[in-house]
Homo-oligomer: A and B are copies of this chain.
C-alpha cells in the first residue's frame, strides 16, 4: 500500500520534544504532498528501563521490524549511567542496530552557511566543507566477545575486534555507491600498519575499487585522518571506516562544522529500511524546558524521505523550509548569538511547518 509505517521512538531527555516537532512536519507533508503515514510510538532507552525493565522491549523491536522506517529522538541520561550493562540505554542502542541489521551509519557533516561562525575553525578553512562519514555499525570491537579473566598481572579485561569479508564488502560498496552520487572521492580509513582487521579491510577496499573506476580512492590511517579533518576538511567527500574509528571521526567531523545541533543521521540495512536520528544526544540538562533545537530531527525526516521513501521533492521542501527560517534570523538557544532573542522548540517547529 502507499501508507508508510513509521515507528516513532522518542526516547529520553529532549527526545520527546524534538520528535514532537518532527512529527508536525511529517503531518504537514501529508497535507501538502498527499502522503499517508501511520505512526506508532514505542518505548526505548532509559524510559523503557523505567517502565519495562529493559532498554529494548520486545514489543518495540517488533514495532520497528514491522515498520518501513524508524524515527528516533535520543536515549540516555545520568539517571541510568551507573546501571549494570543490561540496564543501560546504550545497550538498547547496540541491540536495536544488531537486531534490525543496521550495518551502515550515514553521518553527513554539513556546514550551514548561517552558522559558520559557530565553528571553532577559521571560516576560510571550513569553506566548502561537505562530507559524509559512512561508519560500519554492527561489527568490530563493539560486538566481538568481551570478558574478564585472571591473568599473571591481576584481573584483565578483553575486547575482541572481528570483521569478515562480507561485512567489509557491503559497507565499502555502499560507500562507493554514495561517492558516485556526490564528489566521486572516497577516503577509506584504517590502521593497516597495526591491525589485522584493518589489513583485511584494506584488501577488500582494493579488491572492490576497480568496480568504481570513476571514484578516486585514498587510504588514510586513522590517526592521520583525525589530523587531516582539521587541516583540510573541505578536501573530503565520503569517508568510510569501521565501527570504532567511525564513532570517533564522525563526531570530530560533526563538531568541526559548528552545526552539531543541526545534523541528522541515517542507519541503514539491506533494502530501503532505515533508522533516522539527530546526531546530538538527549541533553538531559535542558530537557523539559522547551528550549531544545528540533532542526536535526526535522532534517532526519528529510533524510528518511530521501533514503527510505524516495520522496525527494518533499525532502527538498523540508530542507528549504529550514533554510528559510534560519535565513530569517530565527534561532534556538544553542545556535543563537544573542541568547535573549532565542525562540523555543515549539516556535521553531511551527515556523518550519509554516514555511513548508
Residues of A at the B interface (CB closer than 8 Å) are 88, 90, 94, 120-122, 125, 141-142, 144, 146-148, 151, 153-167, 191, 193-197, 199-201, 222-224, 226-227, 230-231, 244-245, 247-252, 254-256, 260
B161 touches A161 (CB 8 A): yes
Contacts of A222 in B (CB 8 A): 247-248
B255 touches A231 (CB 8 A): yes
Q: Helix, strand, loop or mixed for chain A's interface?
A: helix
Complex CA–CA separation, A248 to B195 (angstroms):
14
For the complex of A and B, 10 pairs with smallest distance between CB atoms = A157-B200, A156-B164, A154-B165, A146-B196, A227-B255, A153-B166, A226-B252, A223-B251, A153-B164, A120-B125
Complex CA–CA separation, A151 to B248 (angstroms):
28
A90 touches B193 (CB 8 A): yes
Copy total for this chain: 2
**Chain B residue nearest in CB terms to A219:** B81
Pick the residue among B94, B158, B162, B194 that contacts A156 (CB under 8 A): B162
Contacts of A122 in B (CB 8 A): 120-122
Also in contact, A223 and B247, with CB within 8 A (given A155-B164, A157-B163, A165-B153) = yes
Contacts of A226 in B (CB 8 A): 226, 248-249, 251-252, 255
A and B contact pairs by CB, cutoff 8 A, 25 listed: A120-B122, A120-B230, A122-B122, A146-B195, A153-B167, A155-B164, A155-B200, A156-B162, A157-B164, A158-B196, A158-B197, A159-B161, A160-B161, A161-B161, A222-B248, A223-B247, A223-B251, A226-B248, A227-B251, A230-B252, A231-B255, A244-B244, A245-B248, A248-B248, A252-B252
B200 touches A224 (CB 8 A): no
Contacts of A227 in B (CB 8 A): 251-252, 254-255, 260
B155 touches A165 (CB 8 A): yes
CB distance from A13 to the nearest CB of B (A): 15
A200 touches B148 (CB 8 A): yes
Contacts of A158 in B (CB 8 A): 144, 160-162, 196-197
CB distance from A63 to the nearest CB of B (A): 24
Complex CA–CA separation, A201 to B222 (angstroms):
22
A120 touches B160 (CB 8 A): no
B164 touches A196 (CB 8 A): no
Complex CA–CA separation, A194 to B94 (angstroms):
9
Contacts of A148 in B (CB 8 A): 196, 200
Contacts of A248 in B (CB 8 A): 222-223, 226, 245, 248
Query: Of residues A154, A194, A195, A227, which shows the largest number of chain B Cβ atoms within 10 Å of its Cβ?
Result: A194
Query: Of residues A90, A94, A122, which shows the largest number of chain B Cβ atoms within 10 Å of its Cβ?
Result: A122
Also in contact, A197 and B256, with CB within 8 A (given A226-B226, A231-B120) = no
Contacts of A162 in B (CB 8 A): 156-158
Contacts of A166 in B (CB 8 A): 153-154
